[in-house]
Chains A and B, each alone.
Chain A
């Protein structure tokens, strides 16, 4: 699976200084999460697949650096779905963005905090928004 290489302006656009959503949404309510990694794209993807298997999520890899994940059960508001997009800064630095696309937001945040974040510890340099 190929990942998008970021140009300098795209890299800059990830700054939290530009993330004005901080004014609007309390951090705990966000259904978007972002982290940096110093692992290769293939390592990151493998890890995501492992985590999906452990959490009983279905995985679908798209061609443009997006991995789609889906819960197997209907939740409060349908099936949980989210996209994970991998951006390449260099071959050994990546920015990974996770965005919920369907399902109940509370369930998603629970999955993120209790399931996904702990499981990704090995590949995460830092989560955007954590101080």
Chain B
């Protein structure tokens, strides 16, 4: 009314400044700003509220907003730190940070454990492992006999469950991952990430 007031652009909830996020994650400020561009694109793609909903996440991953996938669901749930059904910007950057090639192995190991602990019991049970293997085979259209699936699950489970109590605890998981590092192959976005940042900076 009297003085000119700067129009305050109202950020959606969960927004955090790039400098803050860079200081607390493995990303540089440039990388966080590039992620912000990506986040904006994703979070306004279907429901225009600046928050990433499940369909928008599915759209970005699969080019199909209705594609249901057990593992994508797990990733979404883990990214949704506040458990409010959407991924906010801060949550987005912090969670993605775990997938950065420079993130500590221990973070990746812990994240993967939570991913696979489908029911959140604090352990990976054999039924959960079996469910996940079946989901992967189904997704890839690979048809194995029950016998063959059991063999794969049993084999891995007995290797991992060193104290034989029928479930894999975080310590056993750490040991298993040390012996089988390729089990964490999905925890790195090495190939995609550098080109993403480069392409994004090209727009400045």
Contacts and interface: CB of A to CB of B under 8 A. Distances in A.
Given A23-B38, A24-B195, A15 B139 contact: yes
Interface stretch (A5-13, A52-60, A68-76, A112-120): A5-13
A13 B185 contact: yes
Contacts of A19: 61, 186
A63 interface: no
Interface string B20-58: 000000000000000000100010000000000000000
B163 interface: no
Interface in B38-92: 38, 42, 60-64, 69-75
B195 A29 contact: yes
B96 A25 contact: no
Contacts of B136: 11-12, 14-15
A8 B176 CA distance: 12
Q: Is the interface of B mostly helix, strand, loop or mixed?
A: helix
A74 to B, nearest CB: 23
A59 B144 CA distance: 32
B156 A16 contact: no
SS class, residues of chain A in contact with chain B? mixed
Interface residues on B, range: 35 or more
A81 interface: no
A16 B189 contact: no
A78 interface: no
A75 to B, nearest CB: 19
A7 B99 contact: no
Interface of A: 4, 7-25, 27, 29-32, 36, 38, 89-90, 93, 95, 99, 125-126, 128, 131
Across the A-B interface, the 10 shortest Cβ-Cβ residue pairs = A17-B71, A21-B192, A17-B72, A8-B156, A18-B186, A24-B196, A17-B69, A9-B183, A13-B186, A24-B192
13 contacts: A8-B132, A8-B156, A12-B135, A12-B136, A13-B183, A20-B61, A20-B96, A24-B192, A25-B196, A30-B191, A31-B191, A89-B152, A131-B63
Interface of B: 38, 42, 60-64, 69-75, 96, 99, 116, 129, 132-133, 135-137, 139-142, 144, 148, 152-153, 155-157, 159-160, 176, 180, 182-186, 189, 191-193, 195-196
